[in-house]
Amino acid sequence: MMHVNMRHLWVAAIGAGLLLQGCTSTGCKTETSGAEVSTGCTTETLAAGERGRVVQAALSEIGTSYRYGAQSPGKALDCSALTQYAYDTAGVEIPRVSMDQRKFATPVRLAKVQPGDLVFFKIRPGLSHVGLVVDGKEFVHASSSRHQVALSSLDSDYWQQRCVGAGTYLR
């Protein structure tokens, strides 16, 4: 019997979806570790090339442990290490810490974010957070409250109240 790693299967499915041009589903759902995840797969949100590689790299880390200051993909990451790793897979260098990632990114209006763009949050004074846009509704981030890399909704009240902007290092 062959052992299938559901996380790798899920990432491959998402990656393939990012590269397709004709996806018309509006709520692609998949299952990973028993949790259903909506990817919001629509024609308008698909990415290819550099953006697709960045998003796929970030999604491949779903389930990886969160640890402040950690920089080890597949083992443990913090939020800015996740985004730095994802961009690095596409050959794009970005700063290590979230405050510098925001400072040096090209600003993007929240209404215009694309897959691979960064979203920035102020959790409390002196504590910043960054995530990577998967599509117009979700982002992937290393979550300290969930203790792992996870998907979250940009539409949630929690994240909307804390969002301080978006930016990109991609064309």
Among 23, 28, 41, 79, the active-site one is 79
Among 8, 141, 147, 163, the active-site one is 141
Tokens of 57: 């790299």
Among 3, 8, 41, 129, the active-site one is 129
What distance in Å separates the CA atoms of residue 5 and residue 122, rounded to the nearest whole number?
35
Q: Is 3 in the active site?
A: no
What distance in Å separates the CA atoms of residue 104 and residue 98, rounded to the nearest whole number?
10
What distance in Å separates the CA atoms of residue 150 and residue 131, rounded to the nearest whole number?
10
CB 121 within 8 A of CB 163: yes
Helix H or strand E encompassing 106: strand 106-108
Q: Is 41 in the active site?
A: no
Q: Is 79 in the active site?
A: yes
Catalytic residues: 79, 129, 141
